[in-house]
Amino acid sequence: MTALSAEGRNGNYPGKGIGQPVGVAVLGMGTVGTEVLRLINEFSGSLENRIGGPIDVRGVAVSDLSKKREVLEKFPDITLTDNARELIDRDDIDVVVEVIGGIDYPRELVLAALNAGKSVVTANKALIAAHADELSDAANAAGVDLYYEAAVAAAIPVVGMLRRSLAGDQVQRISGIVNGTTNFVLDAMASTGASYEEALAEATRLGYAEADPTADVEGHDAASKAAIMASMGFHSRVTYDDVHAEGITNITADDIAAAAEAGFTIKLLAICERLIDDVGNTSVSARVHPTLVPNDHPLATVDKSYNAVFVEAEAAGRLMFYGNGAGGAPTASAVLGDLVGAARNKILGGRAPAENPYAHYPVADFGDVPTRYHIDMSVVDRAGVLAEISRRFAAQDISISAVRQEESGEHSRLIVVTHQSLERKLAAIVDELRDIDEVKSINSVIRLGA
């Protein structure tokens, strides 16, 4: 990361002055972009008081100029264009709001804006997860702001909390439900007994799931957010490619029922941890996977499409942030919050606290991450099978926390819950179990822990 000069830190970022307008360009006018413009118009007076000068939306870039957009009637003097670069290069633009989505094209636009001395507000989680280092360097070199609160859990103030509120603390662990679609599906399965396919169909019908839900149900969306949270929380560079991601497509109604019987709820969690090995070396881990959450944990009660982030810090202790993690209005709220900060700095001078990955902790190999397994298998119903399986666990130095066996027709259903061990050792024992003649099938393997 490019360090700021002493002159920069001492305020070599002069402001425009109280009462001066802040020129804004909005790139993209889908659901979020439309809500941003609506809120700017509706709150214009109070926003001016908070900033010290008026927000003047001077241009909007869209892909289809022929589409009618009613909100633009409130902004009769703005430029509507399909040439975003031309808008960015204008001298009267101070702040660029990027709500297009995607990675490659938005990266070009955001870099161009930063290099041109414009502050940037973006809601683009995929872009930040992939290129935060490059974009942060560009912002630092130009002495401008890069804000992205809306990239993680929309209106829930996760980025600001990690960047500012806990700046003097040491974050140990972050675990969160950061995808509303998957939480809706899992909650529907738990509350109605529906299959995964039935719950996903209902989520699609109600508009909680996209026509192509792959990014959500396979964990990709949550992985981008995990990368951002880990980078912010541990002051180290973590990208999307560093995050181990598994989705919910293999979760069955039987898994949900077995979890409930054992006192757990299944949630798709993004988990970010600071890890210290036996000789004192620190690394960080970021992962996304279905997780058995104890019913008495606050995250277990997060239902429908809501999001929640649970943070454990050295001094602050345990904190939880809860609310709408997606949708046009909540996301626009986060964008407006960032826009107020960026615009105020343009008026008064100075910059917001920048991302600072000074720690440079390495990302741990997923196999070296400690976790626990809940293994559901079908076994031959005869004496000695449980003893043989227990012997295999002991030989791998994996301690068993609980065992439950149920009659199930020709075979028995055996559920084994382990104590904490390394991921690679637990994965290895599952592979070994598959090769035992008495084990007819491994029905599911779900990790424990919030």
Indicate if 59 and 200 belong to the same structural domain.
Answer: no
Domain of 73, in residue numbers: 22-154+328-348
Q: With CA atoms as reference, report the closest residue to 247 among 299, 275, 209.
A: 209
On whether residue 3 sits in a domain, the answer given is: no
Indicate if 175 and 318 belong to the same structural domain.
Answer: yes
Residue 98 has pLDDT above 90, yes or no: yes
Percent share of the chain, pLDDT over 70: 97
Mean pLDDT of 336-344: 98
Indicate if 121 and 28 belong to the same structural domain.
Answer: yes
Look-up: residue for tokens 């068993």?
A: 400
Report the distance separating Cα 60 and Cα 332, nearest Å.
Answer: 16
Select which of 225, 267, 346, 425 is catalytic.
225
Residue numbers belonging to the annotated binding site for NADPH? 125
Query: pLDDT, tens digit, for every residue of 301-323?
Result: 999 999 999 999 999 999 999 99
Residue 282 has pLDDT above 70, yes or no: yes
Mean pLDDT of 182-190: 97
Residue 324 has pLDDT above 80, yes or no: yes
Query: pLDDT, tens digit, for every residue of 418-442?
Result: 999 999 999 999 999 999 999 999 9
Contact assessment for residue 201 and residue 229, using Cβ atoms and an 8 Å cutoff: no
Q: With CA atoms as reference, report the closest residue to 14 among 164, 147, 143, 146.
A: 143
Q: With CA atoms as reference, report the closest residue to 316 among 188, 164, 202.
A: 164
Look-up: residue for tokens 């989520």?
A: 203
CATH number at residue 69: 3.40.50.720
* Beta strands, E only, 28-75: 55-61
Please say if 225 is a catalytic residue: yes
Indicate if 129 and 239 belong to the same structural domain.
Answer: no
Query: pLDDT, tens digit, for every residue of 236-252?
Result: 999 999 999 999 999 99
Residue numbers belonging to the annotated binding site? 27-34, 125, 210
Contact assessment for residue 97 and residue 121, using Cβ atoms and an 8 Å cutoff: yes
Residue 407 has pLDDT above 90, yes or no: no
- Pairing between strand 244-245 and 171-177? unpaired
Query: What is the per-residue pLDDT for 10?
Result: 36
The angle formed by the CA atoms of residues 333, 270 and 419, to the nearest 5 degrees, is: 150
Query: pLDDT, tens digit, for every residue of 21-77?
Result: 999 999 999 999 999 999 999 999 999 999 999 999 999 999 999 999 999 999 999
On whether residue 409 sits in a domain, the answer given is: yes
On whether residue 1 sits in a domain, the answer given is: no
Mean pLDDT of the chain: 94
Query: What is the per-residue pLDDT for 6?
Result: 33
Query: What is the per-residue pLDDT for 382?
Result: 87
**Confidence label for 292 from pLDDT (cuts 50, 70 and 90):** very high
Name the domain count of the chain.
3
Q: Can you say whether the dihedral through the CA atoms of 357, 360, 361, 362 is positive or negative?
A: positive
**Exposed, middle or buried by CB within 10 Å (0-12, 13-18, 19+), for 20?**
middle
Indicate if 291 and 382 belong to the same structural domain.
Answer: no
Contact assessment for residue 335 and residue 123, using Cβ atoms and an 8 Å cutoff: yes
Query: What is the per-residue pLDDT for 75?
Result: 95
Query: What is the per-residue pLDDT for 4?
Result: 36
Residue 8 has pLDDT above 80, yes or no: no
CA 287 to chain centre: 11
Look-up: residue for tokens 């454990």?
A: 312
Contact assessment for residue 185 and residue 252, using Cβ atoms and an 8 Å cutoff: no
**Exposed, middle or buried by CB within 10 Å (0-12, 13-18, 19+), for 49?**
exposed
Which spans in 367-413 are helix H?
385-395
Residue 278 has pLDDT above 60, yes or no: yes
Region of residue 151 (left: phi > 0; alpha: psi -120 to 50; beta: else): alpha
- Coil, strand or helix at 328: helix
Indicate if 312 and 403 belong to the same structural domain.
Answer: no
Residue 135 has pLDDT above 70, yes or no: yes
Query: What is the per-residue pLDDT for 302?
Result: 97
Indicate if 184 and 252 belong to the same structural domain.
Answer: yes
Residue 5 has pLDDT above 70, yes or no: no
- Coil, strand or helix at 422: strand
